[in-house]
Amino acid sequence: MDTETLRRLVDSEMHEWLDNVLEMCNAPYAVENEIELVSASKNKVVMRKAVAPSDLNSNGVVHGAASYGLIDHAFAVICNMDARTVGLSCNVIYYRPCFGKVMEAEAKLINESKTLMTVEVTLHSEGKLIASATCIGFKARKPER
């Protein structure tokens, strides 16, 4: 992803942090797994992933690791926009198998303190709730600009 494309997807209030968001969107894991940013603001990030044949498990549905990867990356983007954050915990509840061709994760900032961020992530496919997660991140430091 390039800076100009990113600028259109990120709220103007976060433009001072575009380099950090760009770094997260171009992270090797995101690129390799074709995870794309849909939109970003301080309190909400939406990421999308087309389901590839390699994302399927032996039952022909999306593998838990593929769905969790999207959840975790949406969590990472929202937490690393204006701070360097590492994940402390993530509790995922799966409600149904994912048979869809596209998955979308919406990460919402629930609470933020000086050192911790709590984020709720929901995963949808074809209009159905697939999973939800509560993730906690530790703010290790402020990123350099």
Confidence at residue 142, expressed as pLDDT on a 0 to 100 scale:
66
Confidence at residue 3, expressed as pLDDT on a 0 to 100 scale:
83
**C-alpha pair distances (Å), 53 with each of 28, 43, 101, 103:** 19, 32, 10, 14
Kindly report the pTM of this predicted structure: 0.92
**C-alpha pair distances (Å), 68 with each of 17, 29, 36, 45, 71:** 25, 13, 15, 16, 5
Residues (pLDDT < 50) of the chain are none
Cβ-proximal residues to 143 (8 Å cutoff; 6+ apart), any chain: 20, 80, 82, 83, 84
